[in-house]
Structure 1
Amino acid sequence: MHQRSRAVTRIMEKDNQKPEPSLTRYVGSAIHELRLKHNLTIAEVALRTEISRSMLSKIENGQTSASLETLSRIASGLGVSMSSLFRQYDIPEGSAQLIKSGEGMEVVRRGTKRGHTYHLLAYDQGPTKLFEPFLITLNDESETFPTFEHAGTEFIYMLEGEIEYRHGTETYLLEPGDSFTFQADIPHGPERLIKFPLRFLSITIYPTFE
C-alpha cells in the first residue's frame, strides 16, 4: 500500500513539473513578441509575408511548425534576421553577481591597520574558492606592511598612483594602466609608495584540484 502511494506521489510530482518549451512554441512566442515590439498586427505581417492570418496565428500560438522558408519570410516581414527567432532558445541557466560601485565588502587583512583598504568585489562563489578580486587603496599614511605568500596566480591592474612592487628578489615600477601577473606563492608586496592617490585591482586565481 505504501509503495503504491509513493508511486502515485512520484507520478503526480512529475505531472506537476513545468515542461521545457518546445522549439515550435518558443519560435511562435518569439515571433509574437517581435511583432508586438514593432507595433504590427497579424494582418500587416500577413500582407508583408503573403502568409495567411490563420497560419500566422497558429505559428504564434505554437499550434503548428513552420518550415525554414516560412520562418525566413516571417523574419523578413518583421525586419529581423532569422537567427533572432532562435537567439535565446536552449541557453543554459547560470548565476551572476553584480556589486554596485562602493558596495564591495571591506575586509581586514595584514596591512589594514593603518591606511590600507581592501574591498572584496565578489564573494559567495560556492564550496570551492576559484578567485578573489580586491580593490585596494593605499594612502600616504600607509605603513610598510609585510610581504604576502599564498597559493595561486595574482594579477594586478594599476588604476591610480605609482608604486614599486616587490616579487621575490625583483622590484617593478607600476603606473596607471600597467598590468602585473605573478606566482603568488613567492613573497610579494608593495616595496615603496611613490605617488598618491594609489589604487589598484588585485585578482587572485586559485588552483583547482580534481
Structure 2
Amino acid sequence: MNKTNQTLDLAQHLGKTIRAIRLENKLTIANVSDLAGISRGMLSKIENAQTTTSLDSLVSIANALGVSVSHLFRGYDNVGDSAQFVKKGQGMEVVRRGTSCGHSYHLLNYDHGPKKYFEAFFLQIHDDSEEFPDFDHPGTEFIYMLSGEMEYRHGQHTYVLQPGDSLTFDGNTPHGPGALSHFPIVFLSIIIYTDSFHEQ
C-alpha cells in the first residue's frame, strides 16, 4: 500500500470512528465543534474523510467526545497495555451535560476494545449556584460518596448521600443531584454497560 492510500484509509477510519462516538453520545456536529474549538464545516469534512487533520485537532475532538486519542485509532493500529494506570489528578477532564452547571468530570479509564463496557468518573461539585438537569443513559450506575453531602434523585425517590454511602441504580431512569450541602461534594460514578447496549 502506498503512502497516499495509507493516508486515505486512516482518514476514513478516523472519520467513521469520530462519527460513531458522536452519535453514540447523542451529540450533534455543532456540539462537538463548539467544544473542540473547530468549525462545523471542518468537523464534517473530517468525519467524511474529505480532509486530513492535525494531531492538535484530534486531541481537541477526543477531549470533546470524552475519549482518549488512542481510542480514535482503535482497530486501525492500536497498540497498548492491558492495564491502565491514572495518577492522582491526571484523569482526562471531559465535557458532559452537567459541566456547565458546576460538575467537574474526570474520566479515569479509557476503553481500547471495540466495545465500551464501563466508564469511571471522578466528579466534584463546588457550589450550589445552579440546578442540575436529570440525566439518563444505558446501563447501571454506581455512585460512591467521598466527601460532602447531597440529595440524589432517581425516578420518584430521593436519597441523602454522605461520605462512605453508595447508590446503585438503572441509568435509564432519570436521575441527578438534588439539594447540595457541605462542599466540596466529591464522588465516584461508575457506569456499567449491558449487552443490550452493545447490540443496539
Secondary structure of 2:135's partner? coil
Partner of 1:29: none
Q: Distance in 2 between matches of 1:114 and 1:170?
A: 22
- Structure 1 residue 125: Cα displacement: 3.1
Gap change, CA 1:148 and 1:114, over 3 Å in 2: closer
Q: Distance in 2 between matches of 1:142 and 1:201?
A: 21
Find 1:149's aligned residue among 131, 136, 141.
136
Q: 1:95 Cα deviation (Å)? A: 1.1
> In structure 2, which of residues 67, 80, 87 is the aligned counterpart of residue 100 of structure 1?
87
Code of the residue aligned with 2:124 in structure 1: it is T
Q: Which residue of 2 aligns with 1:177?
A: 164
Q: Does 1:135 align with 2:136?
A: no
Extract structure 1 runs of 4+ deviating beyond 4 A. none
- Once the two structures are TM-superposed, the CA of residue 165 in structure 1 deviates from its matched residue by 0.2
The equivalent of 1:116 in structure 2 is 103
- Distance (Å, rounded) in 1 between the aligned partners of 2:158 and 2:123: 19
* Matched residue, 2:189: 202
TM-score (norm 1): 0.53
Shift of 1:141: 4.6
Amino acid in structure 1 at the alignment position of 2:162: E
CA distance in 2, matches of 1:125, 1:196: 35
Q: Deviations over 1:23-80 (max 9, x none)?
A: xxxxxxxxxxxxxxxxxxxxxxxxxxxxxxxxxxxxxxxxxxxxxxxxxxxxxxxxxx
Alignment of 1:13-162 (within 5 A): 95-162=82-149
Q: C-alpha displacement at 1:142, in angstroms?
A: 4.4
State the one-letter code of the partner of 1:194. Answer: S
Cα shift at 1:127 = 1.1
Q: Alpha carbons of 1:168 and 1:204: their partners in 2 closer, same or farther (altered >3 Å)?
A: same
The structure whose Rg is larger is 1
Does the 8 Å CA contact 2:143/2:189 hold for their aligned counterparts? yes
Identity percentage over the alignment?
Answer: 62
Give the match for residue 191 of structure 1. Answer: 178
Does residue 1:167 correspond to 2:154, yes or no?
A: yes
Whether contact under 8 Å (1:110, 1:145) holds in the other structure is no
Cα separation, 2, equivalents of 1:135 and 1:183: 19
- Read off the aligned partner of 2:143 and give its amino acid letter: I
Contact kept? 2:147, 2:162, Cα under 8 Å: yes
* Residue 114 (structure 1) shift: 4.0
Q: 1:109 to 1:115 in 2, by over 3 A?
A: same
Decide whether the 8 Å contact of 1:165 with 1:188 is kept in 2.
yes
The answer on whether the counterparts of 1:163 and 1:193 sit within 8 Å (CA) in structure 2 is yes
Shift of 1:155: 0.1
Distance 1:122 1:172 in 2: 27
Matching residue's letter, 2:120:
P
